[in-house]
Structure 1
Amino acid sequence: MSKFIVQTQDAPQAIGTYSQAVRVVQEETVYLSGQIGLDPVSMEMVQGIDAQIEQVIANLRAVAIASGGNLADIVKLNVYLTDLNHFAKVNEIMGKHFSQPYPARAAIGVAALPRAALVEMDAVMSLEKA
């Protein structure tokens, strides 16, 4: 896979754990469905925003691995928050699990999420062609 980080001074610089854009050439694309903070064993929602962000990332990692990749192969991440005041916490916890070059990302405030989740994330992953 050829993955190139796009960065231009003609647009605002990234202010968090994301890249302005990611260009992928000759890839195989995997679309990861939205994940919320459900524990896969108990199928119960973990409690608190920190625990939910950690669980969401763990769930994304598990799906990425099952698809033949890992978090480093994610090129686009969408984050849905019921309270945008948690945005800084998302950046902090993402920084523990993602490294540069970061995926492109959007953070969106929403009224509600399934199972009263506080956060949900979905992603697009790019893998080398098999």
Structure 2
Amino acid sequence: MDFIDFPGEDARRFPFSAGVRHGDLLYLSGQLATDDPAFAGPIGDIEAETRAVMNRLGLVLAASGAGFTDVIRVGIFMTDLGEFERMNGVYRSFFPGPRLPARTCVGIANLLRGASIEIDCVARIATSAPQG
């Protein structure tokens, strides 16, 4: 297994890995916009938070040699499902192709630091050249 730290951050900041690769699967920990020390958007703006979270996931994917086209499953946790369509508009922009990952979206009472959304995902990274 390979343990991936968040690029550019002190690995001791959180008591977990940003990602864990096991074989050709990459499991990314849930991300919050408030996990990013540079996040300046208002908490509660679902579009700003979703964009920040997806950008953080993208950084971990890239550090692992993957991208959003490699994502096979996404888990979304929202404190207000009334914001689903606004979140979905931002989310969709990260997956422009016709093939989309499997996804679960769950409404929950609250998240750490007052965040409105947390997203995790699983990606597949080929470990060898495809067989013909």
TM-score (normalizing by structure 1): 0.73
Paired residue for 1:84, among 78, 81, 85?
81
1:41 and 1:84 mapped to 2: Cα distance?
26
Question: What is aligned with 2:127?
Answer: 129
Query: Given that residues 37 and 45 in structure 1 are in contact (C-alpha distance below 8 angstroms), is that contact kept between their aligned partners in structure 2?
Result: no
Greater share of strand? 1
Question: What is aligned with 1:56?
Answer: 53
Question: What is aligned with 2:41?
Answer: 46
Question: What is aligned with 1:114?
Answer: 112
Question: What is aligned with 1:20?
Answer: none
Is 1:31 the counterpart of 2:20? The answer is no
1:50 and 1:30 mapped to 2: Cα distance?
26
Gaps of at least 5 residues in structure 1 are: 1-26
1:34 and 1:50 mapped to 2: Cα distance?
17
Kindly provide the CA deviation profile for residues 44-91 of structure 1, in whole angstroms up to 9, marking residues without a partner as x.
563121110100110110011011101111100000000001111122
2:106 and 2:57 mapped to 1: Cα distance?
18
Gaps of at least 5 residues in structure 2 are: 1-22
1:105 and 1:116 mapped to 2: Cα distance?
23
Larger RCO of the pair (alpha carbons < 8 Å, separation 6+): 1
Paired residue for 1:105, among 103, 106, 118?
103
Q: Identity over the aligned pairs, expressed in percent? A: 31
Please list every run of at least 4 consecutive aligned residues from structure 1 whose deviation after the TM superposition is greater than 4 angstroms.
none
1:51 and 1:71 mapped to 2: Cα distance?
19
Q: Is the partner of 1:54 in helix, strand or coil? A: helix
Q: Is the partner of 1:111 in helix, strand or coil? A: coil
Q: Which amino acid aligns with 1:46?
A: G
1:41 and 1:81 mapped to 2: Cα distance?
21
Shift, 1:38, TM fit: 2.8
Task: Give the CA RMSD over aligned residues.
Answer: 1.6
